[in-house]
């Protein structure tokens, strides 16, 4: 059935023929491993402001890559000309790169064993491919959103945008694995702007990016679609309240953090910190390392006993969800933090080889963002699990005498070891005696990763769980961008340091 859903304009491309000749040529050199990856990634971005379409852009990335292990070293090359001569040339170039790299490789490359998957297909879960929707309909939707906001009292400008991606991949290797895959993802955006005296501020939708189709924007709320109609009705009032809100008093507060904010804290302080290449120091020159080093596995108290974080590349509608990764590994779910203790990492085949993590197997975290880039270890959908019997968000708020309820992501800062951080948010409400008392401004919460997660004292139930995430997680040199989701419930943290950022400035 998955084969039937793959776009026929992709399956008509000559990737099987190119794979055959490229892998055969690599085999001629006696390589210990060779794989072929063919990709077509389509992008479309629209933007609108104050009821007028500002721009619409389409682009496409199409090409293929050959990766080999030869003489214990990596070799990689890519091309865009879809001919058998070019496939042979690219395979030869990959081998030549490995021959040069062999003299500089101190530890021979080995790959963890993986079963063979013979001509399997996978397609992400969505109803309507957004690339089949007329551009006029998309423009009308975004312009309508901004016009509606602009007509509301107190809104001086409004903007909206929509990023759409249709990603197709074919993978084949000398071991006999062949996969064909397709996934769709969307990132909608809408924001209102206003001023009061010398204050200027904004209020945006908290709709997360998703691995869904056009139905996310226009479907029936509650069936997978976001309720943009209800949110657009609320945004002007929320903006007016924020502009009139008092500045927060710096100090220690209990925090109830909404999933629309907490996902980013998970991404930065848990997701990146438990990428094994970071923990081993591979990213030190560019994106940093990690305090959560392998010698602490099984002993590091990452947080309170309530903390259960999983890595999962199989989550339905997740941005990092796929059937098979870019090394032909079937994707999985596993524990990263269990009962507050670090118990796992995110792995690809080279890092898993010869180790004990995940039984010496990759957990499916290799990904390249284009045919021109080599696969690297990338983040899974890293998610904090809810309390199966937990309360709703109001129930968590009721447990707080003095605190803040924080909604929506905004700016953030974290050090190169993913340990010291501070995060702001779209809006925060003062909590007094278990009740919300209105918005406050100029807030940021601050701490260290283990101190913050150690203060976790309550989790909302499954009814509060939301899959948030980002389209633009950056990593590696040359830089690559990947989309990733982070699910979490509302959560209660005790005695967290809150800054008044206006005073700090």
pLDDT tens digits, one per residue of 91-145? 999 999 999 999 999 999 999 999 999 999 999 999 999 999 999 999 999 999 9
The pLDDT score that the predictor gives to residue 221 is 87
Phi, psi angles (nearest 5°) of residue 125 = -90, 105
The pLDDT score that the predictor gives to residue 214 is 97
Region of 54 (left: φ > 0; alpha: ψ -120 to 50; beta: rest) is alpha
Question: Rounded to an integer, what distance in angstroms lies between the CA atom of residue 385 and that of residue 380?
Answer: 15
- Which residues, in sequence order, are CB contacts of 227 under 8 Å at separation 6+? 221
**Over residues 13-36, mean pLDDT:** 98
Q: Which has the closest alpha carbon to 445: 504, 384, 382, 386?
A: 504
Q: Which is it for the CA torsion 346, 341, 338, 424, positive or negative? A: negative
The pLDDT score that the predictor gives to residue 313 is 98
Q: Would you call 284 exposed, middle or buried from its count of C-beta atoms within 10 A (0-12, 13-18, 19+)?
A: middle
Distances (CA, A) of 471 to 108, 189, 337: 34, 12, 24
The pLDDT score that the predictor gives to residue 93 is 98
Distances (CA, A) of 505 to 116, 201, 223, 426, 499: 57, 17, 44, 19, 11
Q: Are residues 342 and 200 in the same domain?
A: no
Q: Buried (b) or exposed (e) across 179-193, using 16+ Cβ within 10 A?
A: bbbbbbbbbbbbbbb
The pLDDT score that the predictor gives to residue 198 is 92
Domain boundary among 220, 244, 268: 244
How do residues 379-390 score in pLDDT, each as one tens digit? 999 999 999 999
Q: Are residues 303 and 403 in the same domain?
A: yes
Q: Which tops the pLDDT comparison, 143 or 505?
A: 143
383 Cα distance to chain centroid: 11
Strand 120-123 and strand 178-196: the pairing is parallel
- Which residues, in sequence order, are CB contacts of 4 under 8 Å at separation 6+? none
Q: H helices within 328-425, ranges in order?
A: 349-352, 393-397
CB 271 within 8 A of CB 484: yes
Q: Are residues 271 and 297 in the same domain?
A: yes
The pLDDT score that the predictor gives to residue 222 is 80
Question: Rounded to an integer, what distance in angstroms lies between the CA atom of residue 406 and that of residue 14?
Answer: 51
Domain boundary among 188, 223, 244: 244
Q: Are residues 278 and 210 in the same domain?
A: no
The pLDDT score that the predictor gives to residue 98 is 98
Q: Percent of the chain scored above 70 by pLDDT?
A: 100
How many domains is the chain built from?
A: 2
Domain boundary among 201, 227, 244: 244
Q: What is the CATH number of the domain that holds 168?
A: 3.30.2290.10
Phi, psi angles (nearest 5°) of residue 285 = -75, -20
Q: What is the 3-state secondary structure (H, E, C) of 434-464?
A: CEEEEEEECEEEEEEHHHHHHCEEEECCHHH
The pLDDT score that the predictor gives to residue 505 is 80
> Is the backbone peptide bond immediately before 478 cis, with ω within 30 degrees of 0?
yes
Q: Which has the closest alpha carbon to 29: 117, 115, 76, 98?
A: 98
Q: Are residues 33 and 90 in the same domain?
A: yes
Residue whose token pair is 């993913």: 418
Does the pLDDT of residue 174 top 60, yes or no? yes
The pLDDT score that the predictor gives to residue 209 is 98
Q: Which tops the pLDDT comparison, 477 or 102?
A: 102
- Which residues, in sequence order, are CB contacts of 159 under 8 Å at separation 6+? 47, 48, 49, 50, 146, 189, 190, 191, 193
Residue whose token pair is 């998610």: 383
Q: Are residues 173 and 272 in the same domain?
A: no
How do residues 251-288 score in pLDDT, each as one tens digit? 999 999 999 999 999 999 999 999 999 999 998 988 89
Question: Rounded to an integer, what distance in angstroms lies between the CA atom of residue 279 and that of residue 303?
Answer: 18
Q: Are residues 356 and 216 in the same domain?
A: no
Q: Are residues 65 and 119 in the same domain?
A: yes
The pLDDT score that the predictor gives to residue 286 is 84
> Which domain does 395 fall in, by range?
251-504
Q: Are residues 332 and 212 in the same domain?
A: no
Region of 72 (left: φ > 0; alpha: ψ -120 to 50; beta: rest) is left
Q: Are residues 283 and 199 in the same domain?
A: no
Q: Are residues 204 and 278 in the same domain?
A: no
Helix (H) or strand (E) holding 406: strand 402-407
Angle between the N-to-C axes of helices 84-102 and 15-28, in degrees from 0 to 180, rounded to the nearest 10: 40
The pLDDT score that the predictor gives to residue 384 is 98
The pLDDT score that the predictor gives to residue 1 is 57
The pLDDT score that the predictor gives to residue 4 is 85
How do residues 44-91 score in pLDDT, each as one tens digit? 999 999 999 999 999 999 999 999 999 999 999 999 999 999 999 999
Is 0.95 surpassed by the pTM of this model? yes
Q: Are residues 371 and 231 in the same domain?
A: no
Looking at every residue in the chain, the average pLDDT score rounds to 97
């Amino acid at each position: 059935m998955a084969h039937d859903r793959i776009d026929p304009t992709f399956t008509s491309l000559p990737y099987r023929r190119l794979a055959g000749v490229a892998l055969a040529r690599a085999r001629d050199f006696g390589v210990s491993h060779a794989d072929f990856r063919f990709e077509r990634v389509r992008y479309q971005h629209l933007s609108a402001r104050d009821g007028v379409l500002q721009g619409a852009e389409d682009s496409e990335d199409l090409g293929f890559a050959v990766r080999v292990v030869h003489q214990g070293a990596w070799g990689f090359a890519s091309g865009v000309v879809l001919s058998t001569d070019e496939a042979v040339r690219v395979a030869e170039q990959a081998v030549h790169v490995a021959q040069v790299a062999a003299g500089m490789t101190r530890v021979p490359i080995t790959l963890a064993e993986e079963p063979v998957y013979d001509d399997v297909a996978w397609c992400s879960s969505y109803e309507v491919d957004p690339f089949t929707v007329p551009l006029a309909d998309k423009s009308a939707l975004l312009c309508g959103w901004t016009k509606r906001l602009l007509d509301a009292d107190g809104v001086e400008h409004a903007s909206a945008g929509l990023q759409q991606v249709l990603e197709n991949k074919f993978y084949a290797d000398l071991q006999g694995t062949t996969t064909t895959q397709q996934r769709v993802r969307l990132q909608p955006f809408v924001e209102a702007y206003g001023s009061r005296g010398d204050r200027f501020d904004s209020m945006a939708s908290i709709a997360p990016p998703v691995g869904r189709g056009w139905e996310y924007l226009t479907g029936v709320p509650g069936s997978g679609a976001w309720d943009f109609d209800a949110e657009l009705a609320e945004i002007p009032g929320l903006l007016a309240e924020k502009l009139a809100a008092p500045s927060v008093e710096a100090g220690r507060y209990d925090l109830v953090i909404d999933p629309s904010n907490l996902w980013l804290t998970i991404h930065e302080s848990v997701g990146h910190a438990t990428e094994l290449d970071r923990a081993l120091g591979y990213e030190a020159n560019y994106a940093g390392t990690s305090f959560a080093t392998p010698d602490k596995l099984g002993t590091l108290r990452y947080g309170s006993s309530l903390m259960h974080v999983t890595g999962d590349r199989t989550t339905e509608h997740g941005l990092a969800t796929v059937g098979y990764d870019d090394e032909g590994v079937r994707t999985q779910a596993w524990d990263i933090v269990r009962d507050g203790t670090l118990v796992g990492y995110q792995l690809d085949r080279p890092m898993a080889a010869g180790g004990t993590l995940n039984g010496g197997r990759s957990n499916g975290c290799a990904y390249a963002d284009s045919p021109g880039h080599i696969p690297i270890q990338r983040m899974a959908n890293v998610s904090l699990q809810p309390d199966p019997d937990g309360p709703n968000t109001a129930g968590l708020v009721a447990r707080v005498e003095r605190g803040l309820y924080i909604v929506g992501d905004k700016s953030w800062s974290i050090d190169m070891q993913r340990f010291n951080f501070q995060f702001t948010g779209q809006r925060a409400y003062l909590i007094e005696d278990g009740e919300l008392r209105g918005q406050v401004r100029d807030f940021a919460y601050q701490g260290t990763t283990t101190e913050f997660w150690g203060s976790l004292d309550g989790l909302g139930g499954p009814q509060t769980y939301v899959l948030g995430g980002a389209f633009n997680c950056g990593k590696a040199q040359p830089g690559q961008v990947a989309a990733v989701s982070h699910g979490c419930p509302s959560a209660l943290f005790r005695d967290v340091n809150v800054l008044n950022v206006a005073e700090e400035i």
